[in-house]
Amino acid sequence: MIVKNLSLILNIVLLIAVAILYFLHFSSDNKIEETGEESGISMPDKSKLKIAYVNSDSLISNFDFFIEKSKELEEERIKSESDLETRARGIEKQVSDFQRTRGNMTINQARAIEEDLYKKQQNLLQYRENLAQNLLKKESEINNELYDKVSSYLKEYGTQHQMEIVLSYTRNSGVLYANDSLDITQVVIAGLNESYRNSNAVEADSVQTN
Smallest CA-to-CA distance from 178 within 187, 191, 188, 168 is with 168
106 φ/ψ angles, rounded to the nearest 5 degrees:
-80, 165
pLDDT value at residue 77: 96
DSSP conformation class of 172: T
Per DSSP, the three-state class of 184 is coil
List per-block mean pLDDT (blocks of 10 residues) for the chain, which spans 210 residues. 50 43 45 44 58 92 96 96 96 95 93 96 96 96 94 92 87 81 94 93 72
Contact 63, 189 (CB under 8 A): yes
Instruction: Report CA-CA distances (Å) from 14 to 1, 114, 152, 200.
Output: 20, 58, 16, 30
pTM: 0.70
The CATH homologous superfamily to which domain 2-209 belongs is Skp domain (3.30.910.20)
Q: Where are the domains of the chain?
A: 2-209
- In the beta sheet, which residues pair with residue 10? none
Per-residue pLDDT of 35-78, as tens digits, reads 444 444 444 455 567 899 999 899 999 999 999 999 999 999 99
Say what the pLDDT of residue 8 is: 52
Distance of CA 174 to the CA centre of its chain: 20
Phi, then psi, of 166 in degrees rounded to 5: -120, 120
Residue 47: predicted pLDDT: 53
Three-class SS state of 168: strand
**Computed from CA positions of residues 32, 38, 41, 45, in that sequence, does the dihedral angle turn out positive or negative?**
positive
> Using an 8 Å Cβ cutoff, are 109 and 152 in contact?
no
Measure the CA–CA gap between 65 and 139, rounded to whole angstroms: 13
> What is the separation, in whole angstroms, between the first and last Cα of the chain?
37
